[in-house]
Structure 1
Amino acid sequence: MSDFAYSYARPSTLEQRPDGAALLLSAFSEEGLDNETACFFWGRLRNSWLAARALSTLAKVVASRFVPQSAALRDPIVTAGAGQLRFEAFSSCNGVYARLDMGPEALDGEFLSSGTTNVDFNEPMVNALARISRTEPVLLSVGQQEVVLERAAGKVVERKVALPERWIKGLTSVQAYLALMEEKLRLTRVQAIQLVQGIPAGSSKADYYLVLRGPRPSFVPVATAGAVRVGGVHRLRLLDGLLPLCEAVRVYATPDGQASAFVLELGGGQRFLLALSADVWRGFSGEGNQLDTLMEELPAEWVSGANQLFRGNEVFNPSLFALEHNLAPNTVERLCASLSAMGLLGFDLADNQHFYRRLPFKLGRILSLNPRLKNARALLDAADDVQLVGVGPGGRTEARVRGTGVWHTVVVGGAEGPRCTCPWFSSHQGQRGPCKHILAAQMRYL
């Protein structure tokens, strides 16, 4: 896999001014995306100390990796528009997703345009955030095209960074999980502090479940009614500096327990989200939870046309979009999956709605970032790689699909879930999306 090179034309800076520090973040630009825009947002942070604590936590997430083989990456994504800023990042292992939302109440400035940039959280940036005091006024600008941190002690220039492919793949899976989540618990500030204190010591390999024992949140090793499964519970220590500052915490989970999320209400228009994959070793980029919806291609002009309608952070309401454009619900579902597969859709749990992210629009990434889908279509293109065996009661269809040096038996359709004899399905049992053999059989026979 290759990375996407993000180059910048001029530096971002942290400037010392008579009225305080001004943090100027430069913007990435790729062909077709606001190339002439000089600045997306410029203004003052109303509570710069709290924002700095939240951004420091985001930097902590970015710097973390819970799988030893993962590469260290430090490139958060910033989206400006619709009166708010969103800072997003993954842990280097891609199993933790974090986002800081700053709404109109948190900002005192002007949005000149909408767009997306990615910035480098290097040590000078982290150190600068740590030095912001409670009363220090800070100006923030999201603008042009290189990243530089400038202080009295010197400056650091980031002339070029790369946005990894798995970042966009991770964005695809995260929003799909978030859109399925249900609120399970709501904790007060006192309970949030107790949550930090109750995190089991060490690096946990077993699952833990978050429950309320009376008024106190606790982590237990056995599932009970209403408990929230938290895989790799030690990853919650990323929030230990921020949880004591929040006003409340909302805890969410998917119905099947494959992901969980913690939304910290920080007050003053600031909100912080931390989402965890099911297990430490599972990165969001490998989940494949949108592959079923991506099987049938939409006309390129439909997807491109939808992309032209939205700007950064604007609400994307699938039901309203279907009504306004006279589209069937399943068509809009496929449209959402296509946009999401390019990293263009996010999901706001607290507001229960999708939002748009202005990343580069390249339809070819749908296949390039989903190799199982690409390989399934290659199987269909071959003459005899997918063969019908028979159709049973209830439309249950059995097929033979060629693998590497072996044929696999695939069963799809009917009331039961699909099955395959390949090692991928045996290992994951459909929890990380369908294998290429199931996809090929579904595309051919269903």
Structure 2
Amino acid sequence: MTDLQYHYNGVSTYTKVKGVNSLILAHQTEIETINNIPCFFWGSLTDPYITAKCWSTIAKVVRSSFGPIPPSLRDPIVSAGTERIRFEGFSSCNGVYVRLDMKPESIDGEFIANGTTNVDFNDPMLNALNSIQKNEKVTLAVGHRELQVITSKTTVKEKKVTLPMRWIKGLTSVQLYLADMNLRFELNKVQTIQLFQTLPKGNVKSDFFITKRTGKFMFSTLPTADGVRIGGIHRLRLLEGILPIVDKIHVYVSLDQESCAIVCEFGKMQLLMAFSPDAYRGFSGEGKALEHMTDNLPLEWVYGLNSLLKANETFDPTLLSIENDIDFGTMGQLTSSLSSIGLLGYDLSAGNHFYRQLPFKTDRILSLNPRLKNAKKLVDNADVLILKKEENYIEANVRGTGVQHKVVIHNEDHRCTCDWFTAYQGKRGICKHILAVKMLT
């Protein structure tokens, strides 16, 4: 599988003229209609100091790695529209997801267009951001305000950034994990600082839990009924740069108690950081999006939503069902399908989806998962034999290499006799045999 390589026609710049700092973010996307937009937003930051600290944290995440994948240069993506700007990205190992949600009150300017694109986070720009003080003025441009004319006498420095397929896969699947999380703890500023004072040193391999004892939060190796498991707890050090300025944090945990997320509140903006179950496991390999990719989403629906919705607009399935005369059950499947191909994000604090299109072609996203391709091959080769099919129960045999695998689907419970299911018990998504049966039925 070939990784995606971006070619920036320019680089992001940070300049200071007459006491006003100007940040221009160069952008690049795989989608031509968006790539041709010279500028998405131009205006000023109402709280540049906190914004700069959050951007530095995002840069720290996208340049880090906690697994066998070496850290390398990765640029975040930005969604601009509906009076909001969102920055999001992944660590190189795909185990940490970060997103900065800039609310309308954090920016003062003009949204010239809406869309999602990759932006250049280079070293000189980040070094300059670290020097921003609380009383400084900063203007922000996502793209160039004016279309630049490049002549034979003009030289433009081109920057190349490689985005591996696992990075793109992670962006499509993490939204499904976030939508599966519930709020467990809320900590104020003092409680947050006290909690992180108990953060163990070094790379700890054992599991830790955020627990509350006698009104005090702490990290502990002992699981409790309401504790939140943190796999690879050393990854939490990515948050240390913003702890002194945070107002409060919210701790979320998934229904299976495997993954978790921390939302840091700053008043005008919030920074979310989600963690995969363990440091060696990335969101891209979990396979949670597979079930929703079995439904063939008509392309006309995708195009229709592109014309109906703007970037960062709240996705209200009930309202869309009523306005467009779509059955509620169909809309539920549509929501899951759209989320699995990156057209929806999930806001933990608001508890709803928002619209955003990833800066990658839809067919690229659909072709990323080998389990999906192998399941389609099983169906095409007639290797699936349905033995029993009732309203809430399916039983089938699926041909393997020299063996027949037994698949049983009862309501939401899936079981298979293959080695993959035996090893992971559904914790890393369904196997290709279950997927093939679901596709066929």
When normalised by structure 1's length, the TM-score is: 0.90
Q: Which residue of the other structure, out of 414, 417, 420, is the alignment partner of 1:418? A: 414
Question: Matched residues, percent identical?
Answer: 50
Write the mapping of 1:406-445 to structure 2, written as runs, cut at 5 A: 406-415=402-411, 417-444=413-440
Counterpart position of 1:151: none
The code of the aligned residue for 1:427 comes to: A
The code of the aligned residue for 2:21 comes to: A
The code of the aligned residue for 2:228 comes to: V
Report the CA distance shift for 1:416/1:331 in structure 2 as closer, same or farther (over 3 A).
closer
Answer whether contact 2:341 2:366 (CA < 8 A) is retained. Answer: no
Answer whether contact 1:27 1:144 (CA < 8 A) is retained. Answer: no
Report the CA distance shift for 1:239/1:342 in structure 2 as closer, same or farther (over 3 A).
same
CA displacement at 1:393 relative to structure 2? 9.2
Answer whether contact 1:252 1:261 (CA < 8 A) is retained. Answer: yes
Answer whether contact 1:303 1:335 (CA < 8 A) is retained. Answer: no
Answer whether contact 1:252 1:262 (CA < 8 A) is retained. Answer: yes
The code of the aligned residue for 1:262 comes to: I
Q: What is the CA–CA distance in structure 1 between the aligned matches of 2:98 and 2:281, rounded to whole Å?
A: 16
CA displacement at 1:112 relative to structure 2? 1.1
Answer whether contact 1:15 1:21 (CA < 8 A) is retained. Answer: yes
CA displacement at 1:104 relative to structure 2? 1.4
The code of the aligned residue for 1:437 comes to: H
The code of the aligned residue for 1:86 comes to: R
Report the CA distance shift for 1:275/1:68 in structure 2 as closer, same or farther (over 3 A).
same
Answer whether contact 1:10 1:144 (CA < 8 A) is retained. Answer: no
Counterpart position of 2:123: 123
SS in structure 1 of the partner of residue 292 of structure 2 = helix
CA displacement at 1:196 relative to structure 2? 1.3
Q: What is the CA–CA distance in structure 1 between the aligned matches of 2:328 and 2:390, rounded to whole Å?
A: 29
Provide the alpha-carbon RMSD of the alignment.
Answer: 2.3
Counterpart position of 1:251: 251
Alignment deviations for residues 50-107 of structure 1 (CA, whole Å, 9 cap, x no partner): 1111111111111211013345232111111111111111111000001111111111
Answer whether contact 2:13 2:125 (CA < 8 A) is retained. Answer: no
Q: What is the CA–CA distance in structure 1 between the aligned matches of 2:314 and 2:184, rounded to whole Å?
A: 24
Report the CA distance shift for 1:121/1:32 in structure 2 as closer, same or farther (over 3 A).
closer
Counterpart position of 1:62: 62
Alignment deviations for residues 225-265 of structure 1 (CA, whole Å, 9 cap, x no partner): 21112211111111112122111111111111121010000
Q: What is the CA–CA distance in structure 2 between the aligned matches of 1:186 and 1:291, rounded to whole Å?
A: 32
Report the CA distance shift for 1:144/1:117 in structure 2 as closer, same or farther (over 3 A).
farther
Counterpart position of 2:151: none
SS in structure 1 of the partner of residue 260 of structure 2 = strand
CA displacement at 1:18 relative to structure 2? 0.7
When normalised by structure 2's length, the TM-score is: 0.91
Q: What is the CA–CA distance in structure 1 between the aligned matches of 2:70 and 2:393, rounded to whole Å?
A: 41
Q: What is the CA–CA distance in structure 1 between the aligned matches of 2:288 and 2:41, rounded to whole Å?
A: 34
Query: Is 2:406 aligned against 1:401?
Result: no
Report the CA distance shift for 1:429/1:44 in structure 2 as closer, same or farther (over 3 A).
same
CA displacement at 1:323 relative to structure 2? 2.1
The code of the aligned residue for 2:385 comes to: Q
The code of the aligned residue for 1:261 comes to: A
CA displacement at 1:32 relative to structure 2? 4.4
SS in structure 2 of the partner of residue 217 of structure 1 = strand
Aligned length, in residue pairs: 432
Q: What is the CA–CA distance in structure 2 between the aligned matches of 1:172 and 1:430, rounded to whole Å?
A: 19
Counterpart position of 1:152: none
Query: Is 2:212 aligned against 1:212?
Result: yes
Counterpart position of 1:78: 78
Q: What is the CA–CA distance in structure 1 between the aligned matches of 2:254 and 2:101, rounded to whole Å?
A: 22
Q: What is the CA–CA distance in structure 2 between the aligned matches of 1:287 and 1:110, rounded to whole Å?
A: 39
SS in structure 2 of the partner of residue 240 of structure 1 = helix
The code of the aligned residue for 1:387 comes to: L
SS in structure 2 of the partner of residue 440 of structure 1 = helix
